[in-house]
A and B are shown apart, each in its own frame.
Chain A
Amino acid sequence: MPELGRAALLVTLGLATYALVAGAYAAHFGRRRLARSAQNALVASFVSTAVGAAVLVSALLRNDFSFEYVARTTSRALPTSYTLSAFWGGQEGSLLLWLLVLTGFGAAAVTLNRAWARDLIVWVVPVFGAVSMFFAFLLVAVASPFATQAAPMDGAGMTPSLQNPYMLAHPPLLYLGYVGLTVPFAFAIGALLSGKLDERWLIATRRWTLFAWAALGVGQLLGSHWAYVEVGWGGYYAWDPVENAALMPWLAATAFLHSVMIQEKRGMLKVWNVLLVIIAFSLALFGTFLTRSGVVNSIHSFTQSSIGPWFLAFIAVTVAASLSIVFWRLPKLRSPTKLESAVSREAAFLYNNLLLLALCLAILWGVVYPMLSEAVRGEAVVLGRSYYDFFLRAFGLPLLLLMGIGPLIAWRRASFRSLATTFRWPTIVALVTGVVLLVLGAGSSIPGLVAYTFSAFVLTTIVMEFARGTRARKALGASSWVGAFTSLITRNRRRYGGYVVHAAIVLFAIGVAGSSAFDSVAEAKLARGESMRIGDYTLLYRSLNERETANATQIRAKLDVRRGDRDLGSLEAGKNAYTIEQQVSNEVGIRSDKLTGEDLFVIAEQIDPNGTVYFRVFVKPLVNLIWLAGLVFLLGSVITLWPDGREQRRLVARASTVGLPATR
């Protein structure tokens, strides 16, 4: 069996090399049949990788501990679903997942687009081949998932906090996102190499980019929610390098999704878009590198390993090669149109892009700062939470405001008179919200208050856009308001799906501001029968119970919760002591208020033998809006991603007949 796996990966390596070498040769010398054969090699590499993956899955399911990988990541007692999740739990498995998704995406993207963009595709194939070759090489030569040993009696098992349903979805979603960003990268480089720099590469990859971006976004939120309910320190994001690793490519991809519209509509920002794609892909590689190399002090310190230098070299080669190609093609990337005014939709999108990229680079700087300062000054200096919080406010708040302005401002050149009309109501609503909140006492955090005011502004613009569009549809003869509303969305999924995503970001901002700027915390050491207060909550420590389960001893402190004079029932917080793993985990008690989105969050930090418990309690207003935002984000992404033949035909027709986008 392991031989089959190793052979399959060797075949993948061969096929990827063939796709690169033969594909590049065929593209350069115009050999159509050879190009076709390189495409087939790419598809075949997916099949051979799938065979390798199947071998690993079957080894995992059979608990075949003669596979080192299986013995290291699972145990007999582990439930089947988590045994499967061990596929991406360790380094070798997750690299194999990378390669599987990569070859799958590559084969699909190439097959789907070769009919209408053949001259582009011939150059895309070698790029996919090159990236696949790197991962296949790592799996064959450096980190093989098929290394064998004399089988031990049982495997080492999985860390308890990871035996959790979130871990079935969170890592693979991140991988789908990371790998998905390869598709626009391959097409962008393919377009540069072929010299066919029309908008086709954008049309071909739009949904792929959206999909990758949505998967990254949802994956990160799932990770945050897991941290919030399972890890139990009271937060959901710690600006840890490994968390930032997923955020950075997401920010770059967000910038790209916006600036792409400017290129489609106005033919501007061509160089910029290519650069953003290269940045997003490089950051995705860098993210995988950070996660796997252990070069930075992180809470998630994964197995330190030998793949770090290889990754760094590959990133360096990727960046250098891509930038050289861009530089070489600069003359072909000239825009036919120019920015006409600093007050226009193009300009607003450009500001949005610069802010997103600035935030992304500020985070990158924070992540690499310890390494840089170690290299330059001889000691690693770590930038803490305040660094990231500062830049999130400095760049995030203007971004929030722009989200309201950008979609409504006129193309090309906006007059201040028209601005006044467009933004009269949003501004009024925002100011009223700000004043009301100030009166209610939200002035305790200025950034929080600003975030709320901006959020009100953006939400008003979104509601107005939906209202205006629906009214127009009704006037055009839609039978009912509901019909008008649905046809509005289905006829322009991209735009209105985008608004829904904007609404999600606003909800997210409100949730983050509420739970970080207006939260409160109290701590107390309580004996049974004693109580503590936080805000208008009263918590009475009632009893301490101990339960034995199959793999752990559960200790739970039971608290009676009251708010004002209303009885809210009881809440349990405690610890699980895992006998075999010799680990203790906090099991927090959370009471969510469905109406206000506020959480009461109880941690039993220290349980003394005499039954006194040291409690740490948070009240986190509006925190549930963050999770709601995740659902709305998913909805908006699905709306924009939904297949839309009409739009695709329109874009294809425009790209093939005009060549240049209409300047409207």
Chain B
Amino acid sequence: MARSANPARLVIALSVAAVLAVFLLYTSIAGGGNPSLAPSELAGRSGTVQLAGVVVGPVRGDAHAGGLRFQLKDIGGQATTKVAVRYSGSVPDLFKVGRDIVVDGRLERGTFVAEPGSMITKCPSKYAPKKSGDSA
């Protein structure tokens, strides 16, 4: 049975090839994801990026009429760069000054214009304390 000597290897090889083909197909049509940046790294960037930062007040405007306006600075870093952000669409419950958020969007004339509905807030660590109530 020469024919049946190695179908297992053939099957695996073909399957691996198929999987790789799907990967190639994906990367060729979708072109990968967006870079994730901190506010201090944003200067001079064009194209859509993901911006992660801490919300700095004041928060003005209406997310469903003209856009919510606020600023973002680096999470935990020493950098003091702040980026003005305009956002419209759903605002997560946990959005407020001092929270870490992530938005997708692009820099337009010095303002980061976020894609509608792209905002994600990070949970203040699952069961962890609020900063103000921390006794340590």
Contact = CB atoms under 8 A, between A and B. Distances in A.
B124 interface: yes
B123 interface: yes
B4 A302 contact: no
Interface in A350-391: 350-351, 354, 358, 362, 369-370, 373, 379-384, 386-387, 390-391
A581 interface: yes
A342 interface: yes
A387 B128 contact: no
B127 A149 contact: no
A206 interface: no
A339 B11 contact: yes
Given A152-B135, A342-B11, A90 B128 contact: yes
Contacts of B107: none
Contacts of A152: 135
Contacts of A369: 33
A73 B37 contact: no
Most buried by A among B22, B62, B94, B135: B135
A589 interface: no
Interface residues on A, range: 35 or more
A162 B127 contact: yes
Interface string A629-641: 0000000000000
B8 A159 contact: no
A233 B26 CA distance: 28
Contacts of A386: 30
Given A90-B128, A583-B93, A299 B30 contact: no
A379 B64 contact: no
Interface in B103-125: 104, 120-125
A71 B7 contact: no
B17 to A, nearest CB: 11
Contact of B11 (A350, A382, A585): A350
Contacts of B33: 369, 381-384, 387
Interface in B1-56: 1, 4-8, 10-12, 15-16, 19, 22-23, 26, 30, 32-37, 41, 50, 52
B81 interface: no
A300 B22 contact: no
Given A354-B15, A584-B93, A605-B90, A301 B125 contact: yes
A375 to B, nearest CB: 13
Contacts of B134: 156
Given A379-B37, A381-B35, A86 B4 contact: no
A606 B91 contact: yes
Given A340-B4, A383-B33, A390-B30, A302 B133 contact: no
Contact of A586 (B16, B50, B93): B93
A616 B88 CA distance: 13
A415 interface: no
B102 interface: yes
A578 B1 CA distance: 74
Contacts of B60: none
A412 to B, nearest CB: 10
Interface of A: 68, 71-73, 86, 89-90, 149, 152, 156-159, 161-162, 232-233, 268, 297-303, 338-342, 347, 350-351, 354, 358, 362, 369-370, 373, 379-384, 386-387, 390-391, 394-395, 523, 525, 575, 581-586, 603, 605-606, 614, 616
